[in-house]
Amino acid sequence: MRTILVFVVLLGLPLSARAQAGSFLQTTKPDVAATYQFMRSNTQPGQCGCFILRGAGLSASWTFRPNLVAVIEGDADFASNGPGTGNSITFMSGIVGVRYRLPVQPPGRREPQLFTEVMAGAGHAGGEIAGAGDGSFAFVGHAGGGFDEPLTERFALRFEADYAPTTFANSVNNHQNNLLIAVGFVFHWPRSR
């Protein structure tokens, strides 16, 4: 508990000092992002049994500190040709978490905005590849990062890569190690005048 308190205080001091002195980062606006997703997943542990899911993600975020952003995201991914079986799977998830925008550029510059993120929630798997996890709900996590490449004041390209573990039943260890890569567009709401 004491370690968590020290971490919160250490994180809060530089952010509050930066806010008082004029934020190093340009104040961000709420945004909505739509992404195309590519997920590499596995069936049974100890063997690859790997397959690729493709799908889409929709997320919204709100800045609540100069560098910290609350995020909510929904994803839907599908694979139609499982390893050696030709079976399919549909994977849907809803997650929430926090994104930390790295302070790497002065305000007003149109340069990539780097970020790291940690999110958690629940997912649903259905189809023959899901095996013992078919039709079930389980934990879904995301940990990784990426960057937004500004195109205009309101639009940016997003590139991100996350480690996305899940805990669907698989009759062995009930754990899957997924790699999620997403590419898409971000829309920033205009500032109120």
Range of the domain at 184: 26-188
pTM over 0.85: no
Examine the pLDDT at 8 and tell me if it is beyond 50. Answer: no
Q: Is 131 a member of any domain?
A: yes
Query: Is the per-residue pLDDT at 74 higher than 90?
Result: yes
Percent of the chain with pLDDT over 70: 75
Is-contact 49 87, C-beta < 8 A? no
Q: Is residue 15 part of a domain?
A: no
CATH number at residue 120: 2.40.160.20
**Higher model confidence: residue 175 or residue 85?**
175
**SS3 labels along the chain:** CHHHHHHHHHHHHHHHHHHHCCCCCCCCCCEEEEEEEEEEECCCCCCCCCEEEEEEEEEEEEECCCCEEEEEEEEEEEECCCCCCCCCEEEEEEEEEEEEECCCCCCCCCCCEEEEEEEEEEEEEECHHHHHHCCEEEEEEEEEEEEEEECCCCEEEEEEEEECCECCCCCCCCCECCEEEEEEEEEECCCCC
Examine residue 77 and state whether it is found in any structural domain, yes or no.
yes
Question: Is 32 domain-assigned?
Answer: yes
Residue 9 lies in a domain: no
- The per-residue pLDDT for 43 is 65
CA 73 to CA 141: how far, in whole Å? 11
pLDDT band at 45 (very low <50, low <70, confident <90, very high): low
pLDDT (0 to 100) of residue 107:
58
In a domain, 12, yes or no: no
Confidence band of 83 (pLDDT split at 50, 70, 90): low
CA nearest to 140, candidates 163, 173, 107, 109: 163
- Asked, for residue 153, whether it belongs to a domain, the answer is yes
What percentage of the chain exceeds 90 in pLDDT?
49
- Count of structural domains, the chain: 1
pLDDT, tens digit, for every residue of 152-189? 989 999 999 999 999 998 877 888 899 999 999 999 88
Q: What are phi and psi of 129, to 5 degrees?
A: -65, -30
Question: What's the mean pLDDT when you consider all of the chain?
Answer: 81
List beta partners, residue 96: 72, 120
* pLDDT-wise least confident of 24-33, 57-66, 90-99: 24-33
Is residue 80 situated within a structural domain?
A: yes
Query: Which of these ranges, 36-45, 49-58, 109-118, has the smallest mean pLDDT?
Result: 36-45
The per-residue pLDDT for 84 is 61
